[in-house]
Chain A
Amino acid sequence: MSKPLSFMVVDDSSITIEKLSFIIHDLGHNVARTCSTGQEAVDEYGDVQPDVVTMDITMPQMNGIDATRSILQKYKDAKIIMVTSHGQEKMVMDAIEAGAVGYILKPFSREKLENVIKEASL
């Protein structure tokens, strides 16, 4: 396995945060911070400077696509993976346009996360 990565997990569902964190630890990485809104992620990114962010799309106080755009505007090298239940083409393209480096649909699995990390060469 490559070097352990630090993650910031952004999701308004505590169940998702819990499940994602479990998989991240299981893959040998660590969770540096969890956030439950897009705004919180934007506010805390600079402080945490994680290697990877997993980002939900539908959240209160700024959605995940706007948060992605906002983080990348300031931190061009930020690596953001969308983890969402939205599979509509427009949503996918908006996320990629915003600068996401990966896109996972729920339900996610260990394999899905592992592949997307590899694919994004993180």
Chain B
Amino acid sequence: MSSKNGKELFSELFDEMPFNVYVSDVKTFELVFVNKQLRTTMTNGTTGKCYKRVYQFEEPCPHCPIKANPDIPIEPDQETIVSEYFNELDDRWYQLQDKYIVWTDGRIVKYSIGVDITEQKKTQNQLAEAHAQLALRSKHLEVKSITDPLTGLFNRYKLKEILEREVSRCMRSGAKLSVILVDLDHFKSINDTFGHIVGDKVLQQTAEVLKRSLRSYDHLARWGGEEFVVVCPESPLLAAKQVAEKLRTQLLDTEFPQLNRVTASFGIAEYISEESIDDLISRADKGLYCAKETGRNRVVAME
């Protein structure tokens, strides 16, 4: 009767397998067996540390599911640990199956089987990439649907949503809420004198100045034309008036190319319980009208 030892039997069995198989000592990481398929890919010999020879890492592999650790008691009968790993060395995906076993000389070793699953992963990865692309496009559309393309501020659609949310919060908590309407003075003559390109630049620069000058919790939107709206949560009329005054002076201090200066008029109203959003805006608009009538470049708050 031929007497093959355990190691020979193991070699015979695993050498025939069309997978990468290696066995290493769990305490020292030293390779104790490498099968034929894996041997053909290893250029620096088949002895030494498994992480160096198989994966070309300088220290134990970060992805290794079985960490060599002499302090942890080892149960050789535990289940096989299955994981997926992308190998940068050959640009291929592997399913790794790792398990502790008792080696022929009584040492505890782990064996690791690497099955090339690159083809199977291809479809799965294409799906994940398509999913990412879809999510990116829908995010892009979402942003586009609430943004004014010229100034990058919220548009009227988003403003309505903000106002509805703030009004209902106001009704629940009793906090004060105010809105400021901002309208550039003599904007039509800017457009007529310098053309629409300069007009657009003025609107963009104004948007920047307003955005910079607001408190972090205020909301700013472009209402349309040369009109902007600021929603000021937690703000009674007086607080909103201070905000508007700051906006007015900041704008006055801003240099606009080709123009001496740009001014704006401001109308403010504080939300009155039970009134509609349209009524609130319409009262602020009355303030704005009043600011225009009384000389422009001023703030009028509707008591």
Taking Cβ atoms with an 8 Å cutoff, the residues of A that contact B are 13, 15-16, 58, 85, 87-89, 92-93, 95-96, 101-107, 112, 119-120
Contact = CB atoms under 8 A, between A and B. Distances in A.
B125 interface: yes
Contacts of B128: 87-89, 92, 103, 105
B79 interface: no
B133 interface: yes
A96 B135 contact: yes
Contact of A92 (B86, B88, B132): B132
Given A87-B125, A105-B125, A96 B92 contact: no
A88 B129 CA distance: 10
Most buried by A among B92, B118, B125: B125
30 contacts: A13-B88, A15-B89, A16-B88, A58-B62, A85-B86, A87-B124, A87-B127, A89-B131, A92-B131, A92-B132, A95-B132, A96-B132, A96-B136, A96-B139, A103-B128, A103-B129, A103-B132, A103-B133, A103-B136, A104-B129, A105-B128, A105-B129, A106-B86, A106-B91, A107-B86, A107-B91, A107-B92, A107-B118, A112-B129, A119-B133
Contacts of A102: 132, 136
A91 B240 CA distance: 42
Contacts of A101: 136
Interface of B: 62, 86, 88-89, 91-92, 118, 124-125, 127-129, 131-133, 135-136, 139
Most buried by A among B91, B125, B136: B136
6 closest cross-chain pairs (CB), A and B: A87-B128, A103-B132, A85-B86, A107-B91, A105-B125, A15-B88
A40 to B, nearest CB: 17
Interface of A is mostly: mixed
Contact of A93 (B86, B125, B129, B135): B135
Contacts of A92: 128, 131-132, 135
A58 B88 CA distance: 14
Nearest to B63: A58
A87 to B, nearest CB: 3
Given A15-B89, A85-B86, A119 B131 contact: no
Most buried by A among B127, B132, B133, B139: B132
Nearest to B84: A85
A60 to B, nearest CB: 8
A64 B62 CA distance: 16
A58 B86 CA distance: 12
A96 B92 CA distance: 26
A58 B84 CA distance: 14
A107 B118 CA distance: 9
Most buried by B among A87, A92, A96: A87
Contacts of A120: 136
B204 to A, nearest CB: 15
A119 B139 CA distance: 13
Contacts of A89: 128, 131
